Structures are given as C-alpha cells and as structure tokens.
C-alpha cells in the first residue's frame, strides 16, 4: 500500500508540475507579439525525501532577460527620445524658413530688395520705385520679425512639452513605486513574479524615454531607480519631478529649473526640500527639450539678431549719410549713453545746415573734430547753434540729440565731409545718434560704443549689477553682484576682472571700437553670462552699464524683433533720404537736388559691401556680405536639422539593434514553445496514465479484500 501511495504522490506532482509548465508555455505563446515581453522559463527538479525521489516540483519560474542588454536598451531609448524631439522641432523650423529656392526665403527676399534698389537708381524721383523699395524692405524685415517671434514660440512650446514630459515621468515613477511592494510580496511568498517584472520593465522603459536612469535591483525583488548621476527617485520612498512652464515666452524669459523632491506615496505631498535636476537629466526627451529651449533655439535667435542688426545698421548708415529733398524740419535721434559733460569722441568733419523747401542753403556751420574738437557735448551744441545764427537749433537732453530748423518750412541737414567723414566706433555722427534712421527695432544689437577706458562712466557709488554664471550644462555656478566703482570705464572693467568675483570666470576688455569683450578664463569652457539686474545709470541717460555694452544676451536677440521701416518714410516714400548735400555751395545756392541718384547708388553698394559680423550662436565672427551671412544663417539652421536627424537615426538604429538582440534572448520562439508544449502535454498525459494505473491497482486490491 505504501508503494502505491508513493506512486500516487509521484504521479500527482508530475501532473501539477506539467500543468504549471503548460500554463507558463501557453502564456508565452499568447504574448508572442506583446512588446517588451520577456519569455518565462520553468525550472523543474526532483523532490527528494530521505534520499528517495518522491516526485517532481517547479523550483522557479524565471524571466529570461539579459540585464546588460536591458540597460543598454534603456540608454539607447533615452538618447533616441532626446534626438527625436529635437529632429521634430528642427523639421518645423525648416518649414518656417522655407526652401532656399523659394521666392519667400530670406535669400530671395533680400535679392528682391536689391532688385528694387537697382530699379530706383534708374529714376530716383519716381514715387512708384521708391514705394516698391519700401515694400520689398518691409517684407524682408517682417520675415525676420516673424521668425524671431516663431523662435520664441517654439521655445514656449518646448517649455510646455517639458511640463508634459515631467508629468509622464512622474506617472512612471508612481507606477514603479506601486509595483515594488507587489514584487516584494511575490518574492516573499514564492509566487510567480514574471508578470509583475514585465510590467516593471514596461514602466522603466517608459521612464527612460524621458530621462536617463540607473536601475538597482534589490534582493527582495524590488527596483530602486535613480538618475544616471545618482539622484534617487524611487527606493523605499518616492520622489516626483516639478516644472512650471512660464507660458508666454520672450528672449528675456528666465525659465525655472526642473526639481525633484520626496513625496508621501499616498498623497504625493512634498516631504523634503527640492533638488535642482537641471544637470542631472543628461539624456531623454526632457534633456532634448531643455537643449532646444536653452541652447539651439537661443543660438538661432542670436544669429538672427546679429543678421537683423547688421542689415539695419547698413541701411541706416546710408540713410544717415544723405538727406530727403526737401529736408525734414526736425531730426530727432535715439537714446544714447552720452551726457552733456562727455566728450563727443568723433574724428572727421561734419556740416550742420538748414535748407529751404527748394533745397537752397539757408545757413550752415562746420565742426572739425580733428583740429578743433569741442570739449564736450554741451560745447558742441553751443558751437553749432552759434554757427547757425538762429536758423536752426540743436539740443542734447538726457542722451538724445535733436536738430530743428527754426522756420517750419525749412529743414535740418547733417552731412559728413566727403574727404574726412566723421567716425565714432565705426559710425558717422548722424548714424551714431540715429538722427535719420530708416529701420527701427526693439534693440540696437550692435554695441560698438566708441568709448575708451579713460572716459567717465557717470554712474554713482551704490548702484549695482547682478550676474549669473552658468556652465555648459545649464547649471548656475554662481551669482555675483558687481558694485559701481571709481569714475572711469577702466575702473569698472577692473572691477569686472576682480578675481574675487566675475574675474574668476571671465576676462573683460574694451576693443578698438569700444565694444566690451569677455572670454572665459583658462579654468573654464562654455560658460554663459546672464544679467539678472542692473540699477546703474550713466548720468541722466537712463542707460545702465549692461545696456550700454549689450551684456544681456536677450538684447542681441531683440534686434530682430519689431523690425520696421520708420513710419513717416513708409507712409511717404518721398521722405527717403537719397539726396547728397553739396558742401561747396554758398548760402542761397542749391545744396539738395530732386532726383539725385547718389543715395540710391549708395544703397545699391550695400549688396557687395563686406561687413564685420560678430560671433552669434553657432556662427563665428566673419567678414561677409549681407547675402553671404543670410546664406550662412540658413545653412546653419539646415545643419542643426541634419545633425538632429542623423543623431536620431543613429540612436534609433542602435535601439532597434539592441531591441532585436534583446528579443533574441528574451523573446518568444514559437517553435521552441510549441515543442515544450508537446513535451509538457506528454508529461501530463503520462502522469495522468500513471494516476489511472494506480487507481486500477487500488480497485483491484479493494476487490481482493
């Protein structure tokens, strides 16, 4: 009887083991097309009691995975997510820019401007030709203005998508945290964990799409997750990420950091202080969006700003060299940093004149900045007004120069000498003060001030500037306050170079045109300097130190915003300044001639003129024509798109290859599973027949009794 019981027990264990093996095999077959499913393997062993086999049992059901491959696949998933979103944005930028051969592209529109100027040179007095030039210029400027706005809109969208991605990442973290106790319970009770581990891998794969992570599997079956840099996100507790998108975005927008903090698992209420995650998210969709928002789109906006600033500067230079016929009654300049007690700082010779409606000279006075320079701006104003003898009045108030002809029917003219034109920082007198600008925008974009270090800065002790220094990952290294010191710009530059402050990170100097230059010290590379606040004021001008020198990067991007032709000229193209002042004419003689071709020819010369462009974004400083720089800008945008597409393709191919290798290891092989199914069915049938035989023996014994 005991032998029959042993056979019965053996057959039952075989039946149960085969049944469990069939269940696992059926589950594998059912999930043959389930993404990220790892097949389960049944391990069987003999049950031994007192040295004798008493049956068979399932020792464990394991998921067949290669942890090295899984880690590599998650890393490839993060990198692919990063470049997928970048490629998507750059494709849209290319759509905005249009094809180079399109008539609506930057290159084509600039060529249309030049074509309209060429037509104007044939008949400068033709109102239709003037209007056509204004129309083509407006289209070109509006295109730059619209692109500047669209770049900021894309930055806003990237910021919003960061917020969405943070929410998805938080959902994945919560899911991982909820699966951990279920896994721990299954491990403790010896239950099958394959299904739970599959769900965990899906959650980890989802999280890796948004950020790079490190996995640490615990002995109790749970999974601890941290950023690749070591910031814990899930262990026995749970952390969540936080990001609040600012909504409307401009070039001045300062974005908040992505932070992490411990939370209550049930309520998700914060339990700890926030940790800045900016430098701890190094790949994934979130990193890709941050790089777009803070670097790539900013680089494009800076390059566009440099292009817009030089276009505006070149056309304004010509417009300030010439005069409308008849001249305007009043010329009013833009805001400058100069005070009445500051030296003008010009070289060359300029004529200040008043002409009547016929272009005849009423009065003029000449200022020679080389041989008899006025002591300061106040002295210059006095000299000009005395020389005009009441026919016109120049005033200089809070950094703004104005010149008005006394008789309302007369006009004001400022003209450089043909042989010794005025110059300060590469600009003539009228151009420097913006007395007759044609194109306007939100920001100058060019900060060649003409200042020397020995000039007075006119700022007051107690005024301060505050700067943030960021490394090449976007992490804020320090926040530094610089106090106004001394009386000259050299004193201020020395304070900027103080190694106890900004001087530890940057070296500052004035170049030959009075532009402030700064470069990282030998200890750093890829630093970014941002202006947080500036309470300084150059005398009564209202312009702070950082504004004078364009230290805020957003000021350079704003040069492409609200680009417009001056309203009075756009509405009345007859006010376009293309007339050349005749320096040899005496009072009563004609100094401005209607239909003068020389101003139009000067506009035409812009097409072939080489211009010095400063480094902006990814474009380095260069000497090129406007058309060549436009081509470089478009080429750079195209290179960005190609780079993102190539990186997406490369990492996508790696992900596909790793996924295939992982499938080879972990995936379901139908032939193998069907073979196992037959084996387990036969084993089940054999155990069942044994059980049936034992039953027959029991029946025979009972009948014998």
**Per-residue pLDDT reduced to its tens digit, 33-85:** 776 677 767 777 777 676 666 667 767 766 666 677 778 888 899 999 999 99
| Residues 423-429, mean pLDDT to the nearest whole number | 96
At 705 the pLDDT is 58
CA distance 140 to 245: 32
CA distance 219 to 426: 72
pLDDT at residue 385 greater than cutoff 80: yes
Domain spans, the chain = 2-64+667-704, 69-96+158-297, 329-435, 464-549
At 193 the pLDDT is 72
pLDDT at residue 2 greater than cutoff 60: no
Element (H, E) at 214: strand 213-217
| Residues 614-623, mean pLDDT to the nearest whole number | 93
Element (H, E) at 613: strand 611-613
- Write down the pTM of the prediction: 0.88
**Strand, helix or coil at 8?**
helix
Structure tokens at 688: 């069942």
| Residues 134-140, mean pLDDT to the nearest whole number | 95
Strand 476-483 with 275-276, pairing:
unpaired
- Percent of the chain exceeding pLDDT 70 equals 90
CA distances in angstroms from 542 to 335, 496, 548, 694, listed in the order given: 9, 21, 10, 105
| Residues 516-537, mean pLDDT to the nearest whole number | 92
280-292 residue pLDDT tens: 999 999 999 999 9
pLDDT band of 622, cuts 50, 70, 90? very high
| Residues 321-339, mean pLDDT to the nearest whole number | 97
The b-or-e profile of 536-564 (16+ CB within 10 A means b, else e) is bbbbebebbbbbbbbbbbbbbbbbbbebe
Structure tokens at 65: 């995975």
CA distances in angstroms from 568 to 2, 56, 322, 456, 573, listed in the order given: 115, 98, 16, 37, 8
118-127 residue pLDDT tens: 999 999 999 9
User: Are 90 and 641 within 8 A, CB to CB?
Assistant: yes
Q: Is 692 exposed, middle or buried (0-12, 13-18, 19+ CB in 10 A)?
A: exposed
pLDDT at residue 494 greater than cutoff 70: yes
User: How confident is the prediction for the chain on average, in pLDDT?
Assistant: 90
How many other β-carbons are positioned within 10 Å of the β-carbon of residue 304? 25
392-424 residue pLDDT tens: 999 999 999 999 999 999 999 999 999 999 999
Strand order in the sheet with 259-263: 213-217, 223-227, 232-234, 238-242, 259-263, 275-276
Q: Lowest-confidence range among 9-13, 73-77, 86-90, 654-658? A: 9-13
pLDDT band of 490, cuts 50, 70, 90? very high
pLDDT at residue 704 greater than cutoff 70: no
**Strand, helix or coil at 363?**
strand
| Residues 263-267, mean pLDDT to the nearest whole number | 92
At 383 the pLDDT is 98
pLDDT at residue 149 greater than cutoff 80: yes
Give the end-to-end CA distance of the chain in Å, rounded to a whole number.
13
The residue with greater pLDDT, 660 or 523, is 523
The residue with greater pLDDT, 191 or 36, is 191
Element (H, E) at 439: strand 439-440
Helix 127-189 crosses helix 106-122 at what angle (to 10 degrees)? 170
> Which fold would CATH assign to domain 329-435?
Immunoglobulin-like (2.60.40)
At 187 the pLDDT is 82
pLDDT band of 23, cuts 50, 70, 90? confident
pLDDT at residue 1 greater than cutoff 60: no
At 36 the pLDDT is 66
Structure tokens at 222: 């749970």
Nearest Cα neighbor of 423 from 377, 369, 366, 372 is 369
């Amino acid at each position: 009887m005991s032998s029959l019981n042993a056979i019965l027990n053996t057959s039952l264990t075989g039946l149960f083991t085969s049944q469990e093996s069939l269940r696992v095999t059926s589950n594998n077959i059912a999930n043959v097309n389930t993404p990220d499913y790892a097949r389960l393997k049944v391990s069987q062993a003999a049950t031994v009691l007192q040295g004798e086999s008493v049956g068979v049992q399932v020792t464990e059901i394991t998921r067949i995975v290669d942890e090295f491959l899984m880690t590599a696949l998650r890393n490839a998933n993060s990198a692919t997510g990063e470049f997928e979103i970048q490629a998507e944005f750059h494709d849209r930028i290319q759509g905005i820019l249009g094809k180079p051969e399109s008539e609506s592209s930057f290159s084509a529109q600039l060529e249309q401007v030049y074509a309209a100027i060429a037509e104007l040179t044939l008949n400068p007095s033709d109102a239709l030709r003037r209007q056509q030039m204004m129309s083509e210029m407006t289209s070109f400027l509006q295109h730059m203005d619209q692109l500047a706005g669209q770049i900021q809109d894309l930055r806003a969208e990237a910021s919003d998508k960061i917020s969405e991605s943070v929410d998805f990442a938080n959902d994945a973290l919560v899911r991982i945290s909820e699966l951990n106790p279920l896994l721990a319970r299954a491990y403790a009770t010896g239950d099958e964990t394959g299904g739970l581990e599959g769900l965990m891998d899906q959650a980890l794969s989802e999280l890796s799409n948004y950020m790079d992570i490190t996995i640490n599997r615990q002995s109790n079956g749970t999974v601890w997750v941290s950023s690749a840099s070591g910031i814990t996100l899930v262990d026995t507790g749970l952390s969540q990420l936080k990001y609040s998108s600012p909504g409307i975005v401009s070039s001045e927008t300062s974005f908040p950091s992505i932070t992490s903090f411990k939370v209550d698992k049930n309520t998700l209420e914060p339990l700890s202080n926030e940790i800045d995650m900016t430098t701890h998210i190094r790949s994934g969709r979130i990193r890709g969006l941050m790089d777009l928002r803070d670097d790539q789109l900013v680089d494009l906006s800076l390059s566009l700003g440099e292009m817009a600033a030089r276009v505006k500067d070149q056309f304004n230079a010509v417009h300030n060299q010439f005069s409308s016929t008849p001249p305007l009654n009043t010329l009013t300049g833009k805001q400058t940093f100069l005070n009445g007690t500051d030296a003008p700082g010009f070289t060359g010779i300029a004529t200040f004149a008043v002409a009547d409606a016929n272009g005849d000279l009423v009065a003029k006075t000449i200022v020679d900045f080389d041989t008899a320079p006025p002591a300061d701006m106040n002295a210059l104003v006095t000299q000009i007004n005395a020389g005009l003898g009441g026919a016109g009045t120049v005033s200089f108030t809070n950094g703004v120069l104005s010149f008005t002809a006394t008789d309302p029917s007369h006009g004001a003219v400022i003209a450089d000498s043909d042989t010794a034109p005025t110059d300060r920082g590469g600009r003539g007198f009228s151009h420097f003060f913006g007395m007759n600008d044609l194109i306007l925008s939100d920001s100058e974009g060019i900060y060649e001030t003409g200042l020397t270090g020995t000039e007075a800065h006119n700022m007051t002790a107690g005024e301060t500037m505050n700067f943030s220094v960021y490394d090449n990952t976007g992490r804020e290294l320090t926040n530094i306050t610089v106090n106004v010191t001394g009386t000259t710009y050299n004193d201020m530059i020395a304070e900027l170079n103080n190694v106890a402050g900004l001087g530890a990170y940057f070296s500052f100097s004035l170049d030959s045109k009075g532009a402030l230059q700064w470069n990282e010290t030998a200890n750093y590379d890829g630093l970014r300097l941002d202006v947080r606040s500036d309470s300084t004021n150059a005398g009564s001008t209202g312009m702070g130190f950082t504004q004078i020198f364009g230290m805020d990067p957003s000021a350079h991007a704003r040069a492409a915003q609200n680009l417009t032709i001056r309203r009075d000229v756009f509405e009345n193209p007859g006010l376009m300044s293309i007339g050349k002042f005749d320096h040899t004419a005496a009072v009563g003689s004609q100094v401005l001639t209607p239909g003068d071709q020389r101003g139009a020819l000067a506009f035409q010369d812009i097409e072939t003129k080489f211009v010095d462009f400063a480094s902006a974004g990814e474009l380095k400083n260069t000497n090129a024509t406007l058309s060549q720089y436009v081509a470089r800008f478009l080429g750079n945008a195209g290179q960005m798109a190609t780079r993102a597409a190539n990186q997406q393709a490369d990492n996508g191919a790696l992900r596909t290859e790793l996924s295939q290798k992982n499938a080879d290891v972990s995936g379901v092989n139908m032939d193998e599973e069907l073979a196992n199914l037959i084996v387990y069915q036969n084993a089940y049938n054999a155990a069942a027949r044994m059980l049936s035989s034992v039953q027959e023996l029991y029946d025979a014994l009972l009948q014998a009794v």
